[in-house]
Structure 1
Amino acid sequence: MEKKRKLKRAVALKYDVQKHDVPRVTARGKGVAAENMIKRGEEEGVSIYEDERLVKKLIEYEVGTDIPPELYEIVAQVLVFVESVDENQVKAAKK
């Protein structure tokens, strides 16, 4: 029996401290659209963080929407993680 493939979902967030107080949804997609978002992000060197439960919540919000207060803490943790990954990649590239 063939295993049913899960529908891929993706949400892109942007946090521009200069312009906004909180992260904002900048893109969202399911299926092929999500796969294309992930592929494009990888090509552009964007850090990708996978958390199905968080994506399930964030995908409900329209593009251009600030994330809701109940997601501040988890998104902050993700942003700290992504920043540390980015810093490690920069350090590794300088060696």
Structure 2
Amino acid sequence: MDKNYPKKAIALKYDRATNSAPKVTAKGKGKVAQKIIDLARQHDIPVKDDPDLIEVLSSLEIDEEIPSEIYVAVAELLAFVYSMNSK
């Protein structure tokens, strides 16, 4: 990521039993983004760097479900997470 821009992070959660789509559970930039990333790593949650997806997701509010327009991108992210979890 270019050091001229503040680092951003978005955390998603998906529980198919209670949600129809993944939801934003945390978001931030700078020190807050780093804390989100650090917490994810401490809890063995995979972290993926995708600046384009982060830009789209950063426009969402906390507890907001992702819009259907980005289902494919988030599905690719979930596939990445599932593959990391299986290793």
**TM-score, normalization by structure 1:** 0.86
Offset of 1:41 from its aligned partner? Answer: 0.8
**Does residue 42 in structure 1 map to residue 56 in structure 2?**
no
Larger Rg computed on CA atoms: 1
**Does residue 33 in structure 1 map to residue 32 in structure 2?**
yes
- Number of the residue aligned with 1:77: 76
Inter-partner Cα distance in structure 2 for 1:28 and 1:15? 15
The number of residue pairs the alignment matches comes to 86
Q: Which runs of 4+ in 1 moved over 3 A?
A: none
Between structures 1 and 2, the one with greater helix share: 1
Q: Percent identity?
A: 36
Offset of 1:81 from its aligned partner? Answer: 1.2
Inter-partner Cα distance in structure 1 for 2:80 and 2:32? 25
Q: Which ranges in structure 2 are unaligned for 5 or more consecutive residues?
A: none
RMSD: 1.3
Inter-partner Cα distance in structure 2 for 1:56 and 1:4? 16
Q: Which ranges in structure 1 are unaligned for 5 or more consecutive residues?
A: 89-95
Residues 40-91 of structure 1, C-alpha deviations (whole Å, 9 max, x = no match): 1111111101100100110110000000011001100110111011111xxx
The equivalences for 1:1-95 within 5 A come to 5-88=4-87
**TM-score, normalization by structure 2:** 0.93
Letter in 1 for 2:11: A
